[in-house]
Amino acid sequence: MSAETIAAAVEADILNGVFKPGEDLKQGDIAVRFAVSRIPVRDALQLLASRGLIEHVPNRRARIICLNRKEIDEVFDLRLLLETDCLRQAIGHLTPADLDRIDAALAHSNVDAGGSCWAEGDWLFHRTLYLPAGRMRQLAMIEDLRRTCRIHIAGYGILPSRTGKWLQDHEKIVAACHARSVDTAVALLSDHIEGARQTLVSALPGDPGT
């Protein structure tokens, strides 16, 4: 089994909350799980570290990233800047076909919201919303920041209590896009992201970084 295959499986576990923020990943346990030597496991962990999902700590250990309050705030401040800018520019380039794709992505995310694929549906919606801006590097940065948030949201079991509110936000943002109301759409998205920030911050355990 290749390091990439192992990394993909462990990444899925991290993003789905199987491993919690700050939890150690033990090479021996992973090697046993996949019936491989420690060499591909070590390489898989290097891949995960390069993607920002884990960090290496003393004594040759690896652990899931665990951000403190200050770091979480930095991530969300960057999301606000990048996502609202992307939406503002996207609305200026929307075509009827784009709006059809956004409507389809919204319907898809509404279906996915109640199950294990909630994050994939949520990202599909936001990515489709931002794509008309044509800013692919910015979109990649947004995806990385949202992945960091997802690790913590899934790890702390936050989503079930907030799904309804987040889906309502999506509906309102799409309505504003159809109306070509840039300021309204951007304000709604900003509130949406701030709501996610506050929900995550309220779930943080004792935070030595504040």
Per-domain residue ranges of the chain: 3-64, 69-203
**pLDDT tens figures, 171-187:** 999 999 999 999 999 99
**pLDDT tens figures, 147-168:** 999 898 887 776 655 677 888 9
Phi, psi of 24 (to 5 degrees): -75, 145
- d(CA 195, CA 153) in angstroms, rounded, equals 13
Task: Please state, as a whole number, how many other Cβ atoms lie within 10 Å of the Cβ of residue 204.
Answer: 17
Which CATH topology does 69-203 take? Four Helix Bundle (Hemerythrin (Met), subunit A) (1.20.120)
Report the first-to-last Cα separation within the chain, whole angstroms. 42
Compute the average pLDDT of residues 101-124.
85
- d(CA 45, CA 26) in angstroms, rounded, equals 10
What amino acid occupies position 205?
P
202 pLDDT band, cuts 50/70/90, is confident
pLDDT of residue 162: 61
Instruction: State the CATH architecture for 3-64.
Output: Orthogonal Bundle (1.10)
CATH topology identical between 3-64 and 69-203: no
